[in-house]
């Protein structure tokens, strides 16, 4: 499954001056802060650790549910409502799931912040029903729309882990040297700039592992393929079809 993620944030108009005496439901007796100030509070204080573990890739990651679970108390404390909508859009003859996240001010319905992200919706994927494909694309798009509006770091390090020691094993970004060690037929089958391929594989790693059919995963494990970069390169050479990777694997 290939993916495309784009963010678009809509900034509301300058907040209207709060009416004198207006108080927050969570802080009795205190005037309500401007909407964007409260959004900033959520962004600044949100910690969303990576609570999921992928055994095949041997790394931790966060999904949309993890982000929402961490954000709910802060949103409630700051009188902000969060909603998410999905819709299908066609771009360049490809179908995408567009997830849009809305942050709404409880005290002023005209104050709103939005962000959206796209994930490509595959036509088919062996081992996955249409509902599973749509759900996977939706979850991926929602995760990145939430990350965009809440300013979560999409890199391998979480905001709360910066500068701290951690036992979490993170997938290393592969180098050109590793690419050059791929079998010759596999390197020749992959057209384009190797550096761009490496970036593409790094950015697509999570969703590719999630979309891998179970029987493919089991067979790779039985054959001793533990290096995801090699598997991913074969996947690209096969036109991003899992059934076609075998002819390219060494």
Q: Is residue 165 part of a domain?
A: no
In this predicted structure, what is the pLDDT of residue 79? 97
Q: Do residues 131 and 199 share a domain?
A: no
Give the chain's mean pLDDT: 77
- Domain extent, residue 238, equals 176-247
Q: What percent of the chain has pLDDT over 70?
A: 73
189 Rama sector, left if φ>0, alpha if ψ -120 to 50, beta otherwise: alpha
**Per-residue DSSP letter, 171:** P
101: which strand partners?
A: 84, 115
Q: What is the pLDDT of residue 39?
A: 96
Quick one: pLDDT at residue 84?
97
- Tell me: do 150 and 51 sit in the same domain: yes
pLDDT of the residue at 9: 47
In a domain, 49, yes or no: yes
Task: Judge if 139 and 182 occupy the same domain.
Answer: no
- Do the domain assignments include residue 58? yes
More confident residue, 2 or 214: 214
> For the chain, how many structural domains are there in total?
2
Whether 33 and 142 map to the same domain: the answer is yes
Question: Residue 237 contacts by C-beta under 8 Å, 6 or more apart in sequence?
Answer: 186, 189, 190, 244, 245, 248
User: Band of the pLDDT at 37, cuts 50, 70, 90?
Assistant: very high
**Residue 115: predicted pLDDT:** 94
Q: How confident is the model at residue 185 (pLDDT cuts 50, 70, 90)?
A: confident
> Is pLDDT of 82 > 70?
yes
| Both tokens assigned to 205 | 């790693």
Tell whether 142 and 180 lie within a shared domain.
no
Residue 99: inside a domain: yes
How many residues are there in the chain? 250
| 163 within a domain of the structure (yes/no) | no
**Do 61 and 149 belong to one domain?**
yes
Greatest mean pLDDT among 44-58, 81-95, 113-127, 131-145: 81-95
Cβ-in-10-Å burial (0-12, 13-18, 19+) of 225 comes to: middle
61: confidence class by pLDDT, cuts 50, 70, 90: confident
Q: Both 146 and 77 in a single domain?
A: yes
67 alpha carbon, distance to own chain's centre: 10
In this predicted structure, what is the pLDDT of residue 21?
43
Q: How many CB atoms lie within 10 A of CB 76?
A: 14
pLDDT at res. 198:
79
pLDDT at 22 over 60: no
The DSSP 8-state label assigned to residue 31 in this structure reads: B
Identify the residue whose tokens are 């059919």.
Answer: 213
Domain membership of residue 167 (yes or no) is no
User: According to the model, what pLDDT value does residue 214 have?
Assistant: 79
Q: How far is it, in rounded angstroms, from Cα 119 to Cα 124? A: 14
Least confident among 2-6, 152-156, 226-230: 2-6
Whether 174 contacts 203, CB under 8 Å: no
Domain boundary among 103, 130, 157: 157
- The reply to whether 2 falls in a domain is no
Is 84 part of a structural domain of the chain? Answer: yes
Residues 141 and 184 in one domain: no
Residues 6+ apart with CB under 8 A from 32: 18, 22, 23, 24, 38, 79, 107
Question: Residue 92, SS3?
Answer: coil
Specify the pLDDT at position 19: 46
Residue 239's pLDDT band, with cuts at 50, 70 and 90, is: confident
């Amino acid at each position: 499954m290939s993916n495309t993620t784009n963010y678009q944030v809509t900034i509301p108009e300058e907040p209207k001056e709060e009416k004198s005496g207006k108080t927050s439901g969570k802080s009795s007796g205190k005037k309500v802060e401007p909407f964007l100030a409260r959004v900033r509070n959520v962004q600044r204080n949100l910690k969303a650790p990576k609570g999921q573990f992928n055994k095949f890739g041997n790394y931790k990651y966060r999904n949309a549910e993890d982000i929402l679970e961490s954000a709910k108390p802060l949103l409630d404390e700051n009188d902000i409502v969060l909603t998410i909508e999905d819709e299908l859009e066609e771009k360049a003859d490809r179908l995408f799931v567009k997830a849009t996240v809305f942050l709404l001010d409880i005290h002023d319905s005209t104050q709103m912040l939005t962000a959206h992200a796209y994930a490509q919706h595959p036509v088919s994927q062996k081992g996955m029903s249409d509902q599973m494909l749509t759900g996977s694309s939706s979850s991926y798009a929602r995760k990145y729309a939430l990350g965009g509006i809440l300013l979560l770091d999409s890199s391998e390090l979480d905001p709360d882990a910066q500068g701290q020691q951690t036992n979490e094993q993170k997938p290393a970004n592969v180098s050109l040297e590793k690419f050059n060690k791929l079998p010759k037929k596999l390197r020749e089958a992959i057209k384009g700039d190797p550096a761009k391929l490496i970036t593409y594989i790094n950015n697509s790693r999570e969703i590719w592992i999630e979309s891998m059919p179970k029987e493919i995963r089991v067979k790779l494990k039985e054959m001793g393929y533990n290096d995801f970069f090699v598997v991913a390169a074969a996947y690209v050479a096969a036109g991003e079809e899992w059934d076609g990777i075998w002819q390219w694997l060494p």
